[in-house]
Amino acid sequence: MAKRRKLVVGNWKMNGRLTSGLTLAKDLADKALAERPLSYDLVICPPASLLWPVAETIMGSPVLLGAQDCHRANHGAYTGDISAGMLADLGCRYVILGHSERRNGHGETGAEVAAKVTAGHLAGLTTIVCVGETQDQRMSGKTEEVITEQITSSLPDKYQVSSLVIAYEPVWAIGSGEQPEVGVVRQVNKLIRKVLGSVGEVVQVLYGGSVAPQNAESLFAEPEIDGVLVGAASLNSDGFWAIAEKARLY
């Protein structure tokens, strides 16, 4: 079995204006250019408002572009939405889907996420599907059940295996400074592979939740963790680069 490549993804969420966003993107592009070729994949997911200017800024560098959501349809009367095809048109290679901030804040169901995965794959995007339990679910011993249900419901019957990434993001670890032990992430990532079945060993399974320069290395060192999905710490180029550079070691 070929070794899975590490993947480092920055999710800017609803942060960044033209000047700050382009400065951050340019800093990362310069750092990545100086180190190329990178032995891991490095992706930034700015808000929709910055996708095109960031695409222009990182063009020609090893930094890849991702978006934070897409619609299930390719085009049509969906005010305020953006299709996967439109994202691909702007140079996106990745799209984050089913983030807990969308499942909880926008009532996104597993079926909705599954439809978006299909849309993303049809547009040629790699979809990063997020799953994770809440604090209550964790405390009541429901983590395995919740993760199994989310994976099962959030994937369509047929999908492009090579275009699928899963991110385990415990809801309680997002933005809290708290993290599960690496051993716990290992167990959940193994469970995710088991639920994926025969393709489980080829799909990259990431961890997300309060990833920072000081805790990134122990995550990359774990063979079951194929990379990280970083929120707040991806908004600072030195900090995000410090995380990314740890991936180089594994």
210 neighbors 230 (Cβ within 8 angstroms):
no
Choosing from 133, 169, 224, 245, the catalytic residue is 169
Work out whether 178 is an interface residue with ligand 13P (CB under 6 A).
no
Work out whether 131 is an interface residue with ligand 13P (CB under 6 A).
no
230 neighbors 11 (Cβ within 8 angstroms):
yes
Work out whether 127 is an interface residue with ligand 13P (CB under 6 A).
no
Work out whether 95 is an interface residue with ligand 13P (CB under 6 A).
no
CB-CB neighbours of 190 under 10 Å? 13
Q: What is the DSSP string of 163-209?
A: GEEEEE--GGGTTTS----HHHHHHHHHHHHHHHGGGTTTSEEEEES
> Which residues make Cβ contacts (< 8 Å) with residue 65, sequence separation at least 6?
43, 44, 45, 46, 51, 54, 55, 58, 90, 91, 92, 93, 94
Considering only 110, 208, 213, 227, the residue that binds ligand 13P (CB under 6 A) is: 208
Whether residue 99 lies in the annotated active site: yes
- Rounded Cα distance between 220 and 226, Å, is 7
- Rounded Cα distance between 180 and 185, Å, is 7
Considering only 106, 175, 178, 248, the residue that binds ligand 13P (CB under 6 A) is: 175
- Rounded Cα distance between 161 and 9, Å, is 19
Nearer to ligand 13P, 85 or 143 (CB): 143
165 neighbors 126 (Cβ within 8 angstroms):
yes
Nearer to ligand 13P, 40 or 168 (CB): 168
Nearer to ligand 13P, 54 or 206 (CB): 206
Work out whether 11 is an interface residue with ligand 13P (CB under 6 A).
yes
Considering only 84, 129, 174, 243, the residue that binds ligand 13P (CB under 6 A) is: 174
Q: Stretches 17-25, 82-90, 148-156, 206-214: which one binds ligand 13P (CB under 6 A)?
A: 206-214
Work out whether 169 is an interface residue with ligand 13P (CB under 6 A).
yes
Cβ-proximal residue to ligand 13P, closest one? 231
In angstroms, give the least distance from the CB of 157 to ligand 13P: 26
Work out whether 232 is an interface residue with ligand 13P (CB under 6 A).
yes
Whether residue 121 lies in the annotated active site: no
Nearer to ligand 13P, 16 or 85 (CB): 16
Q: Stretches 26-34, 80-88, 215-223, 228-236: which one binds ligand 13P (CB under 6 A)?
A: 228-236
Q: Quick one: 75 exposed, middle or buried, by C-beta within 10 A (0-12, 13-18, 19+)? A: exposed
Q: Which residues are catalytic?
A: 99, 169
In the complex, the residues that contact ligand 13P under the rule CB under 6 A are 11, 99, 169, 174-175, 208-211, 229-233
